Structure 1
Amino acid sequence: MQYPSIASAYDELAEQWLDDRFSRIDGVDQHRRALGFLDGGPGGFALNAGCGCNTRFNPLLHARGLQIEAVDISPRMVALARAADPAVTVHLADVCTWQPPRTYRFISAWDSIWHVRLAQQRPLMLKLLNALDAGGVFIFSAGGLDEAQEHFDSSMGPKVCYSTLGIPGLLDVIKDAGCVCRHLELDQHPQKHLCMIVQRIG
């Protein structure tokens, strides 16, 4: 069965992230906690992987002196993100094939990379983890399941993919990338919404 691409699905959904249906504080406290693990002074680069159009994390990153880059596959999301914060470089690309032009002190992938098909999850995670500077921090959300799983869901309208490596699989890839988990939380319990904060050793 053919499903809409994630790009076309989010082109259709983009404006929902700008109205009152969407929480302006979702994930903000978690990003504050993640930034607290950064060592040293201000400066450096940050990456928002699957940024969407809502720029609610940007003020936190700007306040740390981080120069923000972002990447998203939806042309409509990218256009809205560029208009909302022109100081950010936003790449229109598939994060699975996009190659980071540098390493980053901070990477966020909040409610985004779980739309990547299961077969691509581990390679994508390794790419993002390997794009961290020494001591760099990566915050992401995932399905907090006990094992790898993939399914399609149409609760937002278009039917889109959700996949996760599961908690054991995520911990394995973090270890294999030479990183360590600093924080793991099912932050919307009893929902299986997992927040993880990871840091590159060194």
Structure 2
Amino acid sequence: MPSDADFIIPLYDRHAQAYDRLRGRSLFEKSWLDAFAALLPENAAVLDIGCGMGEPLARDLIARGLAVTGIDSSPQLIAMARARFPRQNWVVADMRMLSLGRTFDGLLAWDSFFHLTPDDQRAMFAIFRGHAAPRAVLMFTSGPAQGEASGAFEGEPLYHASLDPDEYRALLEAHGFRVVRHIADDPACNGHTVWLAQRI
């Protein structure tokens, strides 16, 4: 039987215009983006995994002088990103099968990775490692505790899942990353649970 997780990709593509309209641009994520960028070398190459239409996060990274490659499974959202930021690299791809044949100084999976099932999340850490240059910085959001939940977007189920925090730590360590900073339900970031790690 299909689960709500199976409908994430078509949901975002079908409602791309609504997502673009509703996605906040206030950049409440700025303090975390500052911490992420502070660990990067000058003119770093960043892989934005689940980039959507490139706003507001990729826009901020581009404004910092970073070279952004954005991947998203929605052709509609990637088309918007290409139109807005034509000098960057935008690719339609499913993160679960990502194999770009190159590495990046920074990897970002903000409000995207947590739409995967627990098993798919576990498998993503090898993909993160495979695209991580030496000393690469990885930042992603998760849930605060292990579990699965479905919210709603445009009247359709919107799937989320999270592993236990100890499992995220173990997966990061097993794939050569150390946790630099982690806050669950960060009140300064609209309640997001954020992980910032660096390849060792």
Aligned equivalent of 1:79:
79
1:36-90, CA deviations, whole angstroms, 9 ceiling, x for partnerless residues? 122x4x2242100000114222344335543211110112111111112111211
Counterparts in 2 of 1:177-196, with a 5 A limit? Answer: 177-186=175-184, 187-188=186-187, 193-196=192-195
Alpha-carbon spacing, 1:84–1:197, altered in 2? closer, same or farther (3 Å): same
- Name the structure where helix makes up a greater proportion of residues: 2
Aligned residues: 197
TM-score, normalised to structure 1's length? 0.86
Alpha-carbon spacing, 1:189–1:68, altered in 2? closer, same or farther (3 Å): closer
Aligned equivalent of 1:18:
20
Deviation of residue 92 (structure 1)?
0.7
Give the conservation status (yes or no) of the 8 Å contact 2:72–2:92. Answer: yes
**One-letter code aligned to 1:31:** L
1:140-197, CA deviations, whole angstroms, 9 ceiling, x for partnerless residues? 111011xx32233325532132111121111010100111000101213898631111
Give the conservation status (yes or no) of the 8 Å contact 1:151–1:162. Answer: yes
Alpha-carbon spacing, 1:51–1:20, altered in 2? closer, same or farther (3 Å): closer
Alpha-carbon spacing, 1:21–1:67, altered in 2? closer, same or farther (3 Å): closer
Identity of aligned residues (%): 24
Aligned equivalent of 1:136:
136
Counterparts in 2 of 1:32-181, with a 5 A limit? Answer: 32-38=34-40, 40=41, 42-145=42-145, 148-154=146-152, 157-181=155-179
SS for the counterpart of 1:5 is helix
Deviation of residue 101 (structure 1)?
2.2
**One-letter code aligned to 1:160:** L
Aligned equivalent of 1:7:
9
**One-letter code aligned to 2:170:** D
**One-letter code aligned to 2:15:** L
C-alpha distance in 1, partners of 2:58/2:29? 12
